[in-house]
Amino acid sequence: MSDNQLRVVWVYPDLLSTYGDQGNVLVVERRARQRGLDVARLDVRSDQPIPTSGDIYLIGGGEDRPQRLAAERLIRDGHLYQAVNNGAIVFAVCAGYQILGHEFVNDQGQRQPGLGLLDVTTVRGEGERCVGDVLADIDPRLGLPQLTGFENHQGVTHLGPTARPFARVQMGKGNGTGDGTEGAYNDTVFGTYMHGPVLARNPLIGDLLLKLALDVNALPPCDDRWYEALRNERIASAQQPA
């Protein structure tokens, strides 16, 4: 952690912030403060350099053209690579998830280089768009309960040998590959297609990011009643017959 202060960086809110993804940074910030942590939140626009001293970097989803612009600027900036090399934690959603991979298809129908921070490659799906509620079992190694979220994407994301599936879907399409995988992660970088915002529906994922950033195995308890009510409502709704 940086100078006894947790630094949470919201990357490019002017380009990547659809479906309420900014709620993810609000959840991380609040859950850190509930544990008595001193938090500095930095909202970094796409015309500003990415700081390299952050502890947790959050990236949201976006439309095709903003996604291309964000990828180009992040590659040109280069500071997110340095932050990860410094041990920072990255959590990205949808378009942000695709940007973390080796490449994706941009708004011009061309293969667009990504950051290569996750061993994944995204192509454009030929079938129906992946839209709707998702329920999935998170990788047991992460020790987290069932994942709930909302997906809306055309991308099909294939995992390479060094990427682990973040979850396996019980309902929904996930990565769109037909193998049941959803998202991907390595030791410090996480990607998912889940909106919702995903950390409001799954606050223990936010706690996982905090534990990794703080290098601790546990956090003091906090009031989870609101989050649990939201989780239970969304899971029950997803399980209702169509």
User: Was 129 annotated as part of a binding site?
Assistant: yes
Token pair 């799906």: residue: 125
Any idea which residue has 């976006």 for tokens?
A: 62
Please identify every residue annotated as catalytic.
94, 195
pLDDT digit string, tens, across residues 76-134? 999 999 999 999 999 999 999 999 999 999 999 999 999 999 999 999 998 899 999 99
The model's pLDDT over 27-86, given as tens digits with 9 standing for 90+, comes to: 999 999 999 999 999 999 999 999 999 999 999 999 999 999 999 999 999 999 999 999
pLDDT score recorded for residue 120: 98
Phi, psi (deg, nearest 5) at residue 57: -115, 130
Contact assessment for residue 115 and residue 81, using Cβ atoms and an 8 Å cutoff: yes
**Domains, the chain, with CATH or none:** 6-239 (3.40.50.880)
Q: How many CA atoms lie within 13 A of 174 on its CB side?
A: 24
Which of 90, 97, 30 is closest to 212 using CA atoms? 90
Per-position DSSP letters for 38-73, written without gaps between them = -EEEEEE-TTSPPPSS-SEEEE----HHHHHHHHHH
| 134 closest CA partner among 181, 172, 167 | 172
Q: What is the pLDDT of residues 7-30, one digit of tens each?
A: 999 999 999 988 899 999 999 999
The token duo for 154 is 């055309």
